[in-house]
Chain A
Amino acid sequence: MTNNECKDVFARLSEYLDQELPDDVCRQFDAHIGSCSPCVEFVESLKKSIALSRQFQLGQQPRPLQEGEREQLLEAYQRLRQSLQR
C-alpha cells in the first residue's frame, strides 16, 4: 500500500471488484495483486465488507398497513388495471 501500484489499486478497488475496469487496467491489477500480499489482505477485507453490506437487513419491518392505507393503494391498483385493459 506504499508504492504507486498499491495506491492505484487502493483508489480503484471497487471498480476492480465490480469488474468495471477496462481490460488492460484489470490485467495490471491482477498482476500486481498476485504478487503483493498487503494488497491481497486489503482486497479480501473489502470483499468481505461488501458481502456484509449485501446481507444487511434493517431488522425492523414497516408496521402492518392500516385499513385505509390498503384501500387507498388497492383502489389505485384497480384503476391501473382498468386503464391497462382499455
Chain B
Amino acid sequence: MTGDATAFDEFVETFRTRIFQYSYLMCGQREDAEEVSQETLMKVFEHFDQLREPERIRPWVFRIARNVCSMKRRRSVFAPTAELSLDEFRPNWKGDGEDRRLEIADWSSLPDEQAISGEMSRILRQAIEDLPDIYRTVILLRDVEELSTDESAEILGVTTDVVKTRLHRARLAVRQKVDEALRK
C-alpha cells in the first residue's frame, strides 16, 4: 500500500464497496453502513502497523469492520438471534415406492455459472437478511466474501468448528428459501 494516490484510490474503492455491502447486510441501515465503511478505513490506515501478515489484509480489514459494525448496531433490524436446527431444513418426501422422491424444486434448470437475475438477487438478499445475526455474518464472510474458514473464525473470534456449523445451517436456510421460490 506504499504507492501513490492511484494506489490509495484503488484500495479505498475496493475495500469501501466490500465493507459497505457487509455492513449494510449486518446493520440493515444504509447510513450505518456508510459510517462503518469510513471508520473502518480510517482504522486500517491508523493501525496498519498492527497487521502482522500483509497477505492476510482482507481478514484483518473485515475484523475491524465487524468490530465497528458491532458498536454501531445496537439491535438487529433483521431476524432476532436464535439457533437454527438442522431438522428445520431436512427435505420432505413425496410419492410412494419407486416414485418416492424428495420434495424439492428442480434445480437442474439453474445453470452453475450465470449472472443471477434481479428476481433471484432479491430472493437471495431476503434469505440472507432473514438469517439470525450469527449465521448471517458467517455466510457473508465465507460465501459472499469467499474468506476461508480459518479467516472467518479469526474475524469472528470463534473456533473453526463453530464457523463450519453455523455456515452449514445458514446455507441450508438460504437453500430452502431459494427452493421455495423455485417451486412457486
Give residues in A with beta carbon < 8 Å to B: 1-2, 10-15, 18, 20, 38, 41-42, 44-63, 65, 69-70, 72-74, 76-77, 79-81, 83-85
Contacts and interface: CB of A to CB of B under 8 A. Distances in A.
Given A48-B112, A53-B139, A57-B21, A10 B42 contact: no
Contact of B48 (A54, A57, A80): A80
B30 A60 contact: yes
A2 B24 CA distance: 39
A63 B2 CA distance: 26
Interface string B80-120: 00000010001101000000011011011010110110101
A52 B144 CA distance: 9
Contacts, number: 129
Given A14-B168, A55-B115, A49 B178 contact: yes
A12 B128 contact: no
23 contacts: A13-B168, A14-B164, A15-B164, A20-B149, A41-B102, A44-B107, A49-B175, A49-B179, A52-B120, A53-B144, A54-B146, A56-B121, A56-B124, A56-B125, A57-B121, A62-B34, A65-B16, A72-B42, A73-B38, A73-B41, A73-B42, A77-B1, A80-B48
A45 B164 contact: no
A77 B12 CA distance: 10
B2 A81 contact: yes
A77 B42 CA distance: 8
Contacts of B41: 73
Given A48-B110, A53-B139, A83-B49, A77 B164 contact: no
A10 B92 CA distance: 13
Nearest 3 A/B pairs, CB to CB: A76-B45, A14-B168, A49-B175
Interface in B38-95: 38, 41-42, 45-46, 48-49, 86, 90-91, 93
Contact of B105 (A20, A45, A65, A74): A45
Interface of B: 1-2, 5, 8, 12, 16-17, 20-21, 24-25, 30, 33-34, 37-38, 41-42, 45-46, 48-49, 86, 90-91, 93, 101-102, 104-105, 107-108, 110, 112-113, 115-116, 118, 120-121, 124-125, 128, 139, 143-144, 146, 149, 164, 167-168, 171-172, 174-175, 178-179
